[in-house]
């Protein structure tokens, strides 16, 4: 799997901070409700300190929470499904950044996504850009893409087949590997989410800031439950290692997605992300009720 350490998506919010553009004149508050079977919030039957849930982050309700948490940091919104159509060059050297997980034209995952879409639907509106995507892969070039590609991406985003392709590539490259490793380490939903958020930003590979390297750095400080360690101590060590990795790149230097989100849940002992959840990212308040 290729690494995003060099080619990772830089969050749009962070980039705007670096460019000196104010995020918002007044901090916004996003409020969303998570649907639970039977019409009840899972907080109605669980408290953060109750017995551990049997499901992992791949439970549909928990996965929805994960997507909203990531979207709050990446898009300043809990409406992650509105991001299928998102596409822009944020000036980070990775070319176009687009879609629900920040597929980049310069880091191979956008190419793989469009190839999958073309395999499933050969006559789709983006298929004609495959030669250009192969040519610009590994660079920030727009050659053969440009405004026409941006327009056609937004059109393709209305196609359920393209939406499914985005979902499937997100799962294959980022979500499933994070959950698999989290379950192997016997950490709960919060820990699995911390893994997922890290692999989304940093990718996986041999670099010091890749997901695997972040995990190895944490293992030098604490053991996961699978090795007889304390889960909270291990997750604190992982988050420390994650913050260090973020600080190695200026565009990631705002670590609030860890400090005022993940660590808040950990401090509360909410290891399975039971709702309600309250957190801050870049000073903005978010809530899942």
pLDDT in tens, the chain (289 residues): 233 433 344 333 333 333 333 333 333 333 333 333 333 333 333 333 334 544 699 999 999 999 999 999 988 999 999 999 999 998 888 899 999 999 999 989 999 999 999 999 999 999 999 999 999 999 999 999 999 999 999 999 999 999 999 999 999 999 999 999 999 999 999 999 999 999 998 888 888 999 999 999 999 999 999 999 999 999 999 999 999 999 997 767 899 999 999 999 999 999 999 999 999 999 999 999 9
Question: Active-site residue numbers?
Answer: 74, 92
CB 99 within 8 A of CB 74: no
* Per-residue pLDDT, 22: 33
With tokens 């439950």, the residue in question is 225
Read off the tokens for 21: 């553009």
* Per-residue pLDDT, 90: 87
Q: What is the pLDDT of residues 227-251, one digit of tens each?
A: 999 999 999 999 999 999 999 977 6
**Domain definitions of the chain by residue range:** 4-15+24-288
DSSP-assigned letter for residue 203: B
CA pair distance 287, 221, nearest whole angstrom: 32
Q: What is the pLDDT of residues 86-135, one digit of tens each?
A: 999 988 888 999 999 999 999 899 999 999 999 999 999 999 999 999 99
Give the fold, CATH level 3, of 4-15+24-288. Answer: Chitosanase, subunit A; domain 1 (1.20.141)
Counted residue by residue, the chain has a size of: 289
* Per-residue pLDDT, 106: 92
CB 190 within 8 A of CB 272: yes
| pTM of structure | 0.81
């Amino acid at each position: 799997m290729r690494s995003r350490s060099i080619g990772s998506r830089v969050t749009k919010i962070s980039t705007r901070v670096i460019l000196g553009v104010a995020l918002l004149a007044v901090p916004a508050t996003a409020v969303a409700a998570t649907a639970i079977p039977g019409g009840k919030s899972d907080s109605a039957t669980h408290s953060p300190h109750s017995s551990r849930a049997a499901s992992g982050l791949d439970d549909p309700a928990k996965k929805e929470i994960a997507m909203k948490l990531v979207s709050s940091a990446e898009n300043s919104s809990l409406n992650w499904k509105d991001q299928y159509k998102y596409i822009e060059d944020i000036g980070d050297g990775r070319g176009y950044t687009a879609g629900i997980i920040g597929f980049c034209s310069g880091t191979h995952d956008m190419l793989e996504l469009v190839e999958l879409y073309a395999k499933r639907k050969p006559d789709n509106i983006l298929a004609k850009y495959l030669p250009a995507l192969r040519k610009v892969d590994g660079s920030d070039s727009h050659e053969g893409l440009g405004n026409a590609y941006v327009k056609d991406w937004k059109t393709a985003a209305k196609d359920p087949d393209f939406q499914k392709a985005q979902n499937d590539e997100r799962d294959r490259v980022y979500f499933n590997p994070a959950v698999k490793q989290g379950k192997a380490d016997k950490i709960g939903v919060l820990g699995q989410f911390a893994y997922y958020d890290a692999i989304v930003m940093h990718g996986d590979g041999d670099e010091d800031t890749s997901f695997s390297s972040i995990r190895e750095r944490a293992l030098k400080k604490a053991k996961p439950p699978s090795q007889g360690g304390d889960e909270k101590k291990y997750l604190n060590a992982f988050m420390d290692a994650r913050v260090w990795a973020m600080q190695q790149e200026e565009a990631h230097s705002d670590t609030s997605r860890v400090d005022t989100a993940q660590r808040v849940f950990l401090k509360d002992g909410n290891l399975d992300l039971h709702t309600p959840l309250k957190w801050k990212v870049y000073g903005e308040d978010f809530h899942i009720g």
